[in-house]
Structure 1
Amino acid sequence: MVELAFSTNAYTEFTLPQAIDRIADIGYDGVEILADEPHAFLPGFGDDDRARLERRLDAAGLDVANVNANTAVGYYDDAPPSAFFEPSLCTAADDDRRWRIEYTKDAIDLAQRVDAPAVSVTSGQPLAGNPPEQAREYLRRSLHEILDYAEPRGIDVGIEFEPELLIECTAEVLDLIDEMGRDGLGVNLDIGHAAVYGEDLAETITQSVDYITGVHLEDIVGGRRGKHYHRIPGEGDLDFEAIFAALDRAGYDGYATLELYTYPEEPDRAAEESLAYLTNVR
């Protein structure tokens, strides 16, 4: 049976220990760690921080479902209030791409320490002066180096596709996985992203199941081709009973993580209402 986790990226007004305690108190079995500001921005998250994190997780009785290394807001001195994927694994600037590769390796070390099965990353965007075919080659090189580091440590790397990124749908991420031919590469399947792209969600799950490193959940208004805004399950148009039925049919028994960073002012409500709603439909 699919277990439920909650991402700390909804708790950006709280410290990481506070987020962990609240998620545990609400009743989740797992937690996703945001590897970014304000929780675990890795250049400043040292051995003492990691030891305290281990102790807090043990005390809370939570598994770590995933280390979310998708963004790097902490890279910027004065970042606007939006998610940043840059510098990415496909960025054209060698130094920036190197920074992201090393950052992802550090996330793998953190995942190994807290017994997380996987680290999630995105492809990034093919920005001006970096056409998609060139960006894809940079991405492949970056991933090969990262997987050389991750695979001996038993950590999977899940690409999270997203509309408007270089890898933006199920077909593209599966093509990349096939092209790379690496055992440790998979997909961190964000159900809402698939819905926004217009995919049949049951088909997406069936096609991806052999490669899923983790699942992200959120509701979307408009269903297919809806607006990309993460909502509490039950507040949008996705059929979560059908989603969980598809996950069960496919034999997925890992964690499904609520990713509701859109509720920074009321993360407890988002976590509580999501758990109550999904407990009734899964």
Structure 2
Amino acid sequence: MKTIKGPAIFLAQFLGDEAPFNSLDTIAQYMADLGYKGIQIPTWDSRLIDLKQAAESKGYCDDLKGRLSDIGVEVTELASHLHGQLVAVHPAYASMFAGFGPAELANSPKEQQEWAVQQLKLAAKASQNMGLKSHPTFSGALLWPFLYPWPQRPAGLVETAFKELGQRWRPILDAFDEAGVDVCYELHPGEDLYDGVTFEMFLEAVDNHPRANINYDPSHFVLQQLDYLQFIDFYHERIKAFHVKDAEFNPSGKQGVYSGYQGWVDRAGRFRSLGDGQVDFSSIFSKLSQYNYDGWAVLEWECAIKSSDQGAAEGAPFIADHIIKVTEKAFDDFAGTGADEAFNRKVLGLE
């Protein structure tokens, strides 16, 4: 077994226009002072990383890593959720996602998609130059408007969508394979990959590509009422990244999983800061340790109630307290007999 690394934190939700949240060095120092050992960097924010330069220059990456090392943190992964989203966008959502890419491509969906694919290929090379092994992202979605359809979906619609999604992602996965980096899809409502079944359908569409893996985030499974512990039993071999995020689900006689179009505070299912929700993190860390997950435990802070500064401050000790230093010996080794094959045969009455 292997010991999970951490605590670490995803920076996307903390970025802002004022110090210390407006530059890599200052936000890294802020997180280091809170006790974080790693930071996950979003690739879409140029204040943190020049993605093109990182893909083209190992020297640039070495300098970035050196600056962070002096502060006391390291990069856990680069993450490209906004770029991944643009790989597949249904026209119903095109205007809402347009801001994820360059403004000049907002009304050119094909060019916008091609730009996103190029950004992901840059992220593959940048991850390689940074010495990283995993890369969280989103899959994008062609099918989301048809999740709970009325009238029923046309025959073959789902198959056509996953075939197309696989074709769009295959060259990206190949680029990550060349870079020696795993693509870790965050299974998330709003994406075509949002649970185990849809992930399996995607695997089939990309011929079980070895670089198609999972960013495990139990909070999204709480909101779907999916068994997030058994999920680890099913898919542990594909779990290559881990977002530590809490959530709660409190259905009533008025609303359930779909939450009645309410804002986050008033939904039956809502994200919470670590320890304030219903996720059984003790069991999660135990299972991941049992299955030899040796990546980072990365806080993704999202909470409908608590402030981000309090959530970040409480998150580092919470993760540290849940990381299991795995044992290097069995608890009953003291009673071992040190038997060999001859002794075993004698015990079995075979001599």
User: Does residue 1:274 correspond to 2:342, yes or no?
Assistant: no
Are the aligned partners of 1:223 and 1:236 in contact in 2 as well (CA < 8 Å)? Answer: no
Mapped pair 1:68 → 2:94: no
1:150 aligns with 2:176: yes
Name 1:27's counterpart in structure 2: 35
Superposition deviation, residue 253 in structure 1: 2.1
Per-residue deviation, 1:223: 7.4
- What is the CA–CA distance in structure 2 between the aligned matches of 1:123 and 1:234, rounded to whole Å? 29
Q: 1:116 aligns with which of 132, 140, 144?
A: 132
Query: What letter corresponds to residue 18 of structure 1 in structure 2?
Result: T
Deviations 1:205-254 (A, max 9, x none): 11121011201111102279585643221111111112212212222221
State the Cα distance separating 1:58 from its structure 2 match. Answer: 2.5
Decide whether aligned partners of structure 1 residues 279 and 223 sit closer, same or farther in structure 2, where only a CA change above 3 A counts. Answer: farther
SS in 2 for 1:71: helix
Offset of 1:99 from its aligned partner?
1.2
Distance change >3 Å, CA 188–CA 128, structure 1 → 2: closer
The amino acid across from 1:71 in the alignment is L
1:94 to 83, 90, 110: 110
Aligned to 1:233: 274
Cα deviation for residue 187 of structure 1 reads: 0.9
Aligned match of 1:39: 48
% identical equivalent positions: 21
1:244 to 2:290 alignment:
no
1:66-215 to structure 2, matched below 5 A, reads 66-72=77-83, 93-126=109-142, 132-180=158-206, 181-215=208-242
What per-residue deviation string (whole Å, max 9, x for no partner) do you get for residues 64-83 of structure 1? 2221100149x9xxxxxx98
Query: In the alignment, what sits opposite 1:18?
Result: 26
**1:128/1:160 CA distance change after superposition, 3 Å:** closer
- Describe the SS at the equivalent of 2:41: strand
Worse-matched range after superposition: 171-180 or 142-151: 171-180
**5+ residue gaps in structure 2?**
87-95, 102-107, 147-156, 252-256, 258-266, 324-351
The letter for the 2-side match of 1:184 is R
C-alpha distance after superposition, 1:80-139 (max 9, x if no partner): xx988967xxxx943222111101011112211222212222111227999654442332
> CA, structure 1 residues 227+108, in 2 after alignment: closer, same or farther (shift >3 Å)?
farther
TM-score, normalising length: structure 2:
0.67
Using structure 1 for the length normalisation, give the TM-score.
0.82
Alpha-carbon distance change, 185 to 128 in structure 1, aligned in 2, over 3 angstroms: closer
Q: In the alignment, what sits opposite 1:79? A: none
Letter in 1 for 2:111: D
Gaps of 5+ in 1: 76-81
The count of corresponding residues between Structure 1 and Structure 2 is 270
Moved more, 42-51 or 57-66: 42-51
> 2:264: which partner in 1?
none
* d(CA) in 2 for partners of 1:114, 1:147: 18
Letter in 2 for 1:66: E
Cα pair 2:35 2:317 within 8 Å, conserved: no
Q: Would you say the 8 A contact 1:217–1:258 is kept in 2?
A: yes
Q: Which amino acid is the alignment partner of residue 51 of structure 2?
A: L
Contact 1:223 1:238 in 2 (8 A): no
Higher-Rg member (1/2): 2
Rate the CA distance shift 1:11–1:56 in 2: closer, same or farther, 3 A. farther
CA contact (8 A) 2:222 2:248 kept: no
**For the aligned residues, what is the CA RMSD?**
3.3
Question: 1:136 is aligned with what amino acid?
Answer: F
Given residue 119 of structure 2, which amino acid in structure 1 is its aligned partner? Answer: Y
SS of corresponding position for 1:237: coil
